[in-house]
Chain A
């Protein structure tokens, strides 16, 4: 399908419905523009080295962004002729008994956009983490990068496990406890303590560990529980897993270890 880059306005071909920018360059420039960051040279695709706190856009603006994009997408997808020309179309006669109206007399097709998918796409597009993991050398030195990769490898595995668990109708409490214990081992590891301050998921790892500990405590006498993520949390976990997917390989939960 053909859409328009939201930054430079150039037409682009994409198999994906949620693609907003024609290139990583436009995506990055749009991100900086949204967050009010000035670039030293607008032609260069380099992130700033001053680790500025990026404020999240207010929720209202995010909603407006999604809605305006949806409207634009709808207009592009339907692309129907104006009503005046439709009235001038002749009907096609199939045989003496029937007439069949041409398809253009049908009301225009209204494309359904998935809120979940757009939330995920928006989360990723508004996150600096994607740039960090696509250009890690710009953010971390060689030794720090080893630590970041070590932690991110295990984090990706844990996120995939949590997403899987949330899809099951019922989960053994033991499995939730195992995942919680792995989170605890990760936090207690030497590599985790060496993480740089700009590693984007330190707080998330600790949050998830605390929530899992709470769930395990509340259901310690249950054999199985219904493990569910809120929509926002699921969007966040899917988005982060996606951002880590090119940075570190996937490993099985049974293969996870903490050898440093």
Chain B
């Protein structure tokens, strides 16, 4: 009986500022994640990339988490403030 093992993949698009582009590419290359450039935003100096990961692989999930953390931290320093860190940890009454 022939069985074909298909790899489930999830694709997502991300805007990558050039300041952290090399860090993101390092993550993608080190973990053999498929990615491609979808667009260039010259005004913002960023790239739009599509990333395809296998969610069944732990290292792919961790790599995606690593990537999102870098992007989130960069956005926090570029556009956020010290108090915005406090606000995200506060519980607001419903």
Write the residues of chain A forming the contact surface with B, with a CB cutoff of 8 angstroms: 1, 13-19, 94-95, 97-98, 103, 106-107, 109-117, 120-121, 124, 130, 134, 163, 167-169, 234, 238-239, 241-243, 245-246
Q: Which of A97, A107, A109 has the most B CB atoms < 10 Å from its CB?
A: A109
CA distance A31 to B20 in the complex (A): 27
Considering residues A14, A16, A112, A116, which has the most beta carbons from chain B within 10 angstroms of its beta carbon?
A: A112
- Are A109 and B62 closer than 8 Å at their CB atoms? yes
Question: Can you offer 24 A-B residue contacts whose CB atoms are under 8 A?
Answer: A15-B72, A16-B73, A17-B69, A97-B1, A103-B57, A106-B59, A109-B62, A109-B63, A112-B26, A112-B70, A113-B23, A116-B20, A116-B23, A116-B74, A167-B43, A167-B44, A168-B42, A168-B43, A242-B82, A243-B82, A245-B80, A245-B81, A246-B81, A246-B83
What size tier do the contact residues of chain B reach? 35 or more
Taking the nearest CB of chain B, how far is it from the CB of A73, in angstroms?
Answer: 11
Q: In the complex, what residues of B have CB within 8 A of residue A1's CB?
A: 69
In B12-47, the 8 Å CB interface with A consists of 18-20, 23, 26-27, 30-31, 42-45
Q: Which residues of chain B are within 8 angstroms of A117 by Cβ–Cβ distance? A: 20, 70, 73-74, 77
Query: How many Å lie between the Cα of A245 and that of B81 in the bound state?
Result: 5
Assess whether B90 is interfacial by the CB under 8 Å rule: no
B82 in contact with A114 (CB, 8 Å): no
A110 in contact with B43 (CB, 8 Å): no
| A234→B77 CA distance, assembly (Å) | 12
Chain A residue numbers with a CB within 8 Å of B63 are 109
Q: Is the CB of A114 within 8 A of B81?
A: no
B58 touches A (CB below 8 Å): yes
Chain B residues at the A interface, C-beta cutoff of 8 Å: 1, 3, 5, 18-20, 23, 26-27, 30-31, 42-45, 57-59, 62-63, 66, 69-70, 72-74, 76-78, 80-85, 88-89
Given A134-B82, A246-B83, residue A120 in contact with residue B77 (CB < 8 A): yes
A15 contacts B19, CB within 8 Å?
A: no
Q: Are A17 and B73 in contact (CB under 8 A)?
A: yes
Report yes or no: A112 in contact with B82, Cβ–Cβ below 8 A.
no
Between B69, B72, B84, the greatest number of chain A beta carbons within 10 A of the residue's beta carbon is seen for: B69
Q: A15-B88, A103-B57, A109-B63 are in contact. Are A167 and B45 (CB under 8 A)?
A: yes
